[in-house]
Structure 1
Amino acid sequence: MSSIMKFIPLSVSFIFAVTITGCNKLKELPESVITEDQYYKTASDAVSAVNAVYGSLNGDPAGDFPIYGRNLNILISNGSDEQVFSPSNTNPDVRAIGTITYVAENDRVRKIWQQHYYGINKANIAIDKIPGIEMDETQKNRLVNEARFIRALLYFNLVRLFGGVPLVLHNPSSIDIEAVKLKRATAEEIYVQVIDDLTAATALPASFSGADKGRATSGAALGMLAKVYVTRKDWATARTILEKILTAGTFTGATGTYGYDLFPVFKDVFQKPTKNGKEHLFSVQYESNLGARNVQNFLSGSNFNSFNPKSFPGDVPDENLPKIFEEADTRKAASFFTKMLNPATGQEVDFSPVTRYAKFIDFSLNPITNQAQSGINYPVLRYADVLLLYAEVRNELQGPSAEAYKALNIVRARAYGLYVGNGSYTDHRRDLSGLSQAGFREAVFLERRKELVQEANRWFDLVRKGTLVEELKKIPAKTSNVSEKNYLFPIPQVELDLNNLLTQNPGWSR
């Protein structure tokens, strides 16, 4: 990593496209520098610029955990009732999030802030520069809208994690640190920008083929837009958007032509042969053994940080989480394991009593000894999430209607191996019925908890439901430390130190 340059860890300092490393010296290679005026001249440059935006999701310039590859999960899983810190994890900042003792100096909180602004800066450059390139207008507009989709996703994460944050929409022309300091925009201002970007991104193609599979689509933009409106509790707008995604004929009012559906078998959501399939609206892309240090889905390899089967993995689900699943629920075996076959030896390895996560295990590799380059994609948004959002929205608008039950029960039917496809199944033994509006709401959030394990949803769900403190107080390692301030993470202290225009979130010391 000797060619990686240091930078001042302020959000706007990501304009320098460099990063913190604890051991590197500043190394300049002027003979290799290409200025912005020299670059962004061709269609190939435009594609490369947008590919770099995607790269901010599955990579980190310093070789750290990527956003969607473990780092966001540390905050969302450890910071909720989904996960506790592992006894094998010696990083005090990770342990602090798992015990809700984290502070503004926490390095994982700092890192997630910086990674998001790094990606935002990449998106801003693409959005600013691509319009000036002489190229096919359709491709030009598409690439700009892809960058806007990812910028919206990153700001949507930031506003939910931190509240109002600096709103940076262009690559600043000045390198004067005073000139690039910004105050926090309000949360409302951030949401307005997120909605604007996602609305623009709805003009993207409905699908891609070949090597372009996995790029943002109009369906992905609509799905994220619906999730934004659900987060804001704008139920009517969310319903309108969701019905544009839901496959026509499966629900009254559904007009979607994307062909989205659930895989009949739950584990197929997390298999290489079915990646970017009919259930996936948008996934962060991974591939096995690419050899690229910065493109690793660490969520798989963290299960096997030691070959001692009785050791603790890097990430440990809360002991109560597997217990909420019935044995007949196929999501349990697809989400957790205590035993696994080692194909190199033909022997089953017993990891009990420590439960480990299973979703991101790449079985095209040795599942135990070779997971450093897992090729399992990270699903940011999938159709099961859309169905559960629709069930929630219909319930909030008019109570548990027939359409609300249908959306919820389709997800449950698939969980128990009963779902056929195209919104249809004949065995209704697992259907829910007869619930009050409050009871139905609880059922939806319970189903979300089971369905979306380790997919960076749980903390966000508890926050928007308003039950984060209540649920964390049920966990002994967290109960005495959680308070209302935990509904937002602290603004990283290093950002406050470098930018005197920033203010800290309520309850956190500056």
Structure 2
Amino acid sequence: MKNIFILSLTLSLLFSCNDVLDEEVFSSVTNENFFQTENDAIVGAIGVYDGLQNNNYWYQQFIMCELLPGSMGHFWNQNFNTLTYTNNTGGLWALWEQGYKVIGRANSVISVLENSSLEEDLKNQLLGEMRYIRGMVYFNTVRMFGHIPLVTSVPESIEDAVTPQEGADESVYESQFLKQVDRTEVYNFIIEDLLFAESNLPVATFTNGVDNGRARKGSATALLAKVYLTQAGLQYNYVTGTLDQGDASKWAKVVEKCEDLINSGPYSLEPNFADIFKNENDNNEEIIFSVQYLESSVAGVTGEGGQLGARTGINGSDITPYSWKQVFSNKSFFDQWVDANGTSDNRFSTTYLTSYVDNDGVVVNYGSGNFIHPHIWKFISDDNNPDINALGATDYGDNTVYLRYADVLLMHSEALNEINGTPDNNTISGINQVRQRAGQPLITLPISKEDLRDAIWNERKWELVYEGHYFYDCQRTGRLKEEIELNWDTNGGTVRQITLAAITDKFYILPIHFNALSSNSSLDQNAGW
């Protein structure tokens, strides 16, 4: 998807020290003479997908979602690891800045598409894809930061969105490019985008790679279920600093959307857990949406790939050349995983690496030499020789899985359990399908609502670990402090630099970055920060 220009003017919110909005020039064509053919429109849409591939954006989300509750450790990026991040931590700025860049691209393409002369069905499909991406990025951003500016269109001029001069009338801060709105308004907009996408996107076909990396009807349906699930859960009150109850009426909507996918397809569990994450099988029926990358040897150029292979690889072996070995499993979490599931679990050898052969042909086992932490293995696409032809650290072809069918099954069980007084066979169906594939004993009836709630929580924790869900699941269930304590590793993994007593509810939300606050005085910081 890289190396493709999009529009002559793509406006992206940056909240930099001088401007709120920066201008990016991608080609010499103009909005008026572009998008008049199907090819033009597809090229423009791909430019928005290209924004999702930004390594700093997705990698920082991955880091934050797993480091903060403590499923993994990191040799270099210690701020989330040690709970010492502040509103001036660089990784936070990447999450805010790049998110608004993608939103700006989507707004620009949507604006041109709406006024184009394209055939109506194609236009609505591409609009559905763009609105899916915009809704997805807003969903990530609102969960991280709470109350945020809701930018829904392209400004008519740069003056509409730049930081006002000192002494300017306060009314300028009512501009959508500056005004902070309540999360409810953001969620309503996300749902509107996703409902449009659901109505206008084609059903995935899983043939000839046509659907690879592109939003389809099921992508919108699954993400709607996730949005409703989040709304039903606890919400950190960014004004009072308390955890507030969510909207219990949303549980029924979670069930509705999950059953749309369960009953009508086309998704299903991949029989072999390891195959979910292999690039040659990325177009499998479990993956509902993923961010796509190309290995450099396949793309024919460098810089088309992702960084997870390099950051989670092994130094000193042929497994992953150019590896930085930055990221590892937190030992406390690893021990919990093994205690709960055992090493015979069908997910174990895909999730973790505990032995490898170094460049000298010597077998190195976890716990010996410099192999001091269990290793994360989900993002290495081939067990024997993954991406061996990558030409650099940003050239691995391992894709970022954002939504998959196992998540839908677990959401379905969770929502039914919260709605019904007593779990029944339908309630436990989703979690049991996931456990059956893993080779774990099935949950049997009778089981209490509370015990099943804990079982579903743990199954999400084991099944979806390192896929960027952990923090958000802690956030909506109110389990963050409990999980941080469970993962309080004193044996060389995640070594926290604050006391347990110092962990407050403020960690349920991220601070709005200093750059944004200093350039837009109308923004309010989240409570506790």
The normalised TM-score by structure 2 is 0.81
Report the equivalent of 1:46: 41
Report the equivalent of 1:449: 461
Q: Write the distance in 2 (CA, Å) between the matches of 1:141 and 1:193.
A: 18
Provide the aligned length of Structure 1 versus Structure 2: 458
Report the equivalent of 1:421: none
Report the equivalent of 1:78: 67
Report the equivalent of 2:91: 108
Report the equivalent of 2:203: 206
Q: Write the distance in 2 (CA, Å) between the matches of 1:166 and 1:294.
A: 32
Q: CA deviation at 1:369?
A: 5.8
SS of 2:270 mapped into structure 1: coil
Q: Where in structure 2 are the equivalents of 1:264-303 lying within 5 Å?
A: 264-289=271-296, 290=299, 293-303=302-312
Shift in alpha-carbon separation, 1:216–1:140, aligned structure 2, 3 A = same
Q: CA deviation at 1:470?
A: 2.2
Q: Write the distance in 2 (CA, Å) between the matches of 1:200 and 1:488.
A: 29
Deviations 1:465-502 (A, max 9, x none): 00112221331533625321111100011011111111
Q: CA deviation at 1:17?
A: 2.9
Structure with the bigger RCO (C-alpha within 8 Å, sep 6+) is 2
SS of 2:290 mapped into structure 1: strand
Shift in alpha-carbon separation, 1:41–1:103, aligned structure 2, 3 A = same
Report the equivalent of 1:377: 399
Where do 5+ consecutive residues of structure 1 fail to align?
A: 19-28, 60-64, 249-255, 419-428
2:285 aligned partner, one-letter code: K
Q: Does 1:355 align with 2:355?
A: no
Q: Does 1:196 align with 2:195?
A: no
Shift in alpha-carbon separation, 1:279–1:230, aligned structure 2, 3 A = same
Where do 5+ consecutive residues of structure 2 fail to align?
A: 1-9, 165-171, 233-249, 490-494
Q: CA deviation at 1:435?
A: 2.7
SS of 1:101 mapped into structure 2: coil
Per mean C-alpha deviation after superposition, the further-off stretch among 431-440 and 99-108 is 431-440
1:71 aligned partner, one-letter code: Q
Deviations 1:336-374 (A, max 9, x none): 1022356x8766454533211111113288448655322
Report the equivalent of 2:513: 492
Q: CA deviation at 1:80?
A: 1.5
2:356 aligned partner, one-letter code: M
Report the equivalent of 1:219: 218
1:438 aligned partner, one-letter code: E
Alpha carbons 1:9, 1:494 under 8 Å: kept: no
SS of 1:321 mapped into structure 2: helix
Report the equivalent of 2:153: 170
Q: Write the distance in 1 (CA, Å) between the matches of 2:519 and 2:384.
A: 45
SS of 1:84 mapped into structure 2: strand
Q: Write the distance in 1 (CA, Å) between the matches of 2:444 and 2:70.
A: 25
Shift in alpha-carbon separation, 1:101–1:123, aligned structure 2, 3 A = same
Q: Where in structure 2 are the equivalents of 1:73-472 lying within 5 Å?
A: 73-86=62-75, 89=76, 94-176=77-159, 177=162, 178=164, 181-203=177-199, 204-208=201-205, 209-214=207-212, 215-233=214-232, 234-246=250-262, 248=263, 256=264, 258-289=265-296, 290=299, 293-304=302-313, 306-307=315-316, 313-323=325-335, 324-325=337-338, 326-341=342-357, 348-350=363-365, 352-363=371-382, 366-367=385-386, 372=393, 373-398=395-420, 399-416=422-439, 429-472=441-484
| Percent identity between the two aligned chains | 30
The normalised TM-score by structure 1 is 0.83
Shift in alpha-carbon separation, 1:85–1:272, aligned structure 2, 3 A = closer
1:207 aligned partner, one-letter code: A
SS of 2:380 mapped into structure 1: coil
Report the equivalent of 1:422: none
Q: Write the distance in 1 (CA, Å) between the matches of 2:295 and 2:444.
A: 40
Shift in alpha-carbon separation, 1:139–1:461, aligned structure 2, 3 A = same
1:34 aligned partner, one-letter code: V
1:276 aligned partner, one-letter code: N
2:507 aligned partner, one-letter code: N
SS of 2:73 mapped into structure 1: strand
Q: CA deviation at 1:321?
A: 2.1
1:79 aligned partner, one-letter code: L
Q: Write the distance in 2 (CA, Å) between the matches of 1:308 and 1:95.
A: 25
Of the three residues 2, 10, 17, the one matched with 2:15 is 10
Shift in alpha-carbon separation, 1:144–1:353, aligned structure 2, 3 A = same
